[in-house]
């Protein structure tokens, strides 16, 4: 999950497609990913839960981003390991997590949210 987040943050579309399970790839993946990357600034990632079971894994995470405003993608993602490589299969979008103004900011600045990204 961290590698896919990094690929989104750095615009590595080739990696995002390569790490998507082959059965789930679409002809327009590159176009959609390019548009998402151009419109979104990724601010931070928080892994909430990771559950590996054999060649399958579930990862619950929150990715913080800014497009027109600051938002979050809270998802439970499913991965499968095939030929020694992990592939993203699908995910379930979950409700946003509640953030306290006094928590350390998700962007990694070390500041409290109220002093950094007042959301």
pLDDT digits (tens, 9 = 90+) for 68-81: 788 899 999 999 99
Q: Find out whether 79 and 87 touch, Cβ atoms under 8 Å.
A: yes
Residue 46 scores a pLDDT above 80: yes
Q: What digits encode the pLDDT tens for the residues 4-41?
A: 999 999 999 999 999 999 999 999 999 999 999 998 99
Q: Which residue has the tokens 């379930």?
A: 92
Spell out the domain ranges in the chain: 2-116
CATH topology (fold) of 2-116: Nuclear Transport Factor 2; Chain: A, (3.10.450)
Q: What pTM, to 2 d.p., does this model score? A: 0.87
**Calpha distance 105→64 (Å, rounded):** 10
């Amino acid at each position: 999950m961290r590698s896919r987040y990094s690929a989104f943050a750095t615009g590595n579309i080739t990696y995002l497609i390569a790490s998507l399970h082959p059965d789930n790839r679409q002809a327009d993946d590159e176009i959609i990913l390019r548009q998402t990357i151009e419109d979104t600034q990724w601010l931070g990632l928080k892994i909430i839960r990771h559950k590996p079971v054999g060649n399958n894994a579930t990862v619950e995470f929150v990715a913080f981003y800014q497009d027109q405003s600051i938002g979050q993608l809270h998802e439970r993602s499913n991965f499968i390991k095939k030929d020694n490589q992990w592939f993203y299969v699908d995910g379930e979008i979950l409700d946003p997590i509640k953030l306290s103004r006094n928590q350390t900011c998700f962007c990694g600045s070390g500041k409290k949210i109220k002093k950094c990204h007042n959301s």
